[in-house]
Amino acid sequence: MKKIRAYLRLMRPANIVTSVADVLAGITISGFFTKEVTGADRLPVVLLCISTIGLYGGGIVFNDVFDAALDAVERPERPIPSGLVTLQQAAVLGTILFGIGIAGAFLVNSLSGIFAVSITPAALIYDKWGKHQTFLGPLNMGLCRGLNLLLGISIIPAALISCWFLAIIPIIYIASITMISRGEVHGGGRPLLCAASLLYFLVTGCIVYFAFTKHTLSFTIIFLLVFSWMIFRPLLAAIRNASGKNIGKAVKAGVIALIVLDASLAAAFGSLVMALIIALLLPVSFWLSGLFAVT
């Protein structure tokens, strides 16, 4: 059980739940749930959820693989530097998870498979190189999330023609969280935090715009208010006192709030039911974040 828990700690389960929310939001945006869905039709939904679990889990595991030497100094309690999991075991786990993610996507359709294949190198590039780049790193991480949303939309390939540009929303949002996380260990600078807050406003404004154009603002605004409260409250605290502890709280809140962001997107594109279903993933993520580290 100790070894299993160590593997789960490597995978950051609370974060993985947010990736499932991305895919469900993408599937909702595609219009998949507007048609009559039978039991057999639900299989692609399950497969894409399994796919994103594998892809995100693999990316997180390899993040710790590449950071093993640094974590030995800064975060010795993590599974690899603490000796609970060897570097080789972690690499094998990450490879298996990526394989599951790619296979699950190809079982849906070839385009979904291509997105899964694209996410894999994007995640590895970020793990190894991107996160150390001041400008390109946040964009790299945001690209992974944008592709994840498109992975969900690809359940109906034709929907990508009219919806591909929506990937910019998670790209901007995740880029802002990645900017904030720069100071998670040693503290950060207020200018970077203020810049991230402007990106938060931009993301919120984009969803308001889409909801307004689709006449769904009346119920989308509820999710956006919850989303705004979750992300801005800890971020403002970090701006007032840019300590590593406060920045860590802002990062954790930003990651978990992804679920409400995805619920807001689902609501904006006309599905209150799916928005509520996605929002129900929030207590699951909160529960898991109490058992396993988010960052």
Q: What is the pLDDT of residues 221-276, one digit of tens each?
A: 999 999 999 999 999 998 888 787 888 889 889 988 999 999 999 999 989 999 99
Query: Cα–Cα distances in Å, from 267 out to 83, 151, 278?
Result: 45, 19, 10
Q: pLDDT band at 38, cuts 50/70/90?
A: low
Domains and CATH numbers, the chain: 2-291 (1.10.357.140)
| CA 181 to the chain's CA centroid | 14
Q: pLDDT band at 39, cuts 50/70/90?
A: low
Q: Mean pLDDT, the chain, as a whole number? A: 90
**C-alpha dihedral (116, 119, 123, 125), degrees to nearest 10:** 120
- Work out whether the CA dihedral 256, 228, 224, 197 comes out positive or negative: negative
Q: Output the pLDDT for position 100.
A: 97
- CB 204 within 8 Å of CB 224: yes
For residue 130 the two structure tokens come to 């991107």
Q: Output the pLDDT for position 201.
A: 94
Sort 59 into a burial class: Cβ within 10 Å, 0-12 / 13-18 / 19+: buried
Query: Cα–Cα distances in Å, from 254 out to 18, 106, 234, 249?
Result: 11, 31, 9, 8
Q: pLDDT band at 73, cuts 50/70/90?
A: confident
Residue 167 pLDDT > 80, yes or no? yes
Percent of the chain with pLDDT over 90: 61
Taking only the tens place, the pLDDT of each residue in 218-231 is 999 999 999 999 99
Percent of the chain with pLDDT over 70: 95
Long-range Cβ pairs for the range 216-219 (8 Å, 24+): 216/267, 216/268, 216/269, 216/270, 217/268, 219/267, 219/272, 219/275
Sort 132 into a burial class: Cβ within 10 Å, 0-12 / 13-18 / 19+: exposed
- Report the pLDDT averaged over residues 137-152: 92
- Work out whether the CA dihedral 95, 101, 107, 112 comes out positive or negative: negative
Candidates 143, 151, 139; CA nearest to 25 is 151
Residue 187 pLDDT > 60, yes or no? no
Q: Is 31 left (phi over 0), alpha (psi -120 to 50) or beta?
A: left
Taking only the tens place, the pLDDT of each residue in 88-144 is 999 999 999 999 999 999 999 999 999 999 999 999 999 998 888 877 888 898 899
Residue 188 pLDDT > 70, yes or no? no
Q: Output the pLDDT for position 275.
A: 96
| CA 206 to the chain's CA centroid | 18
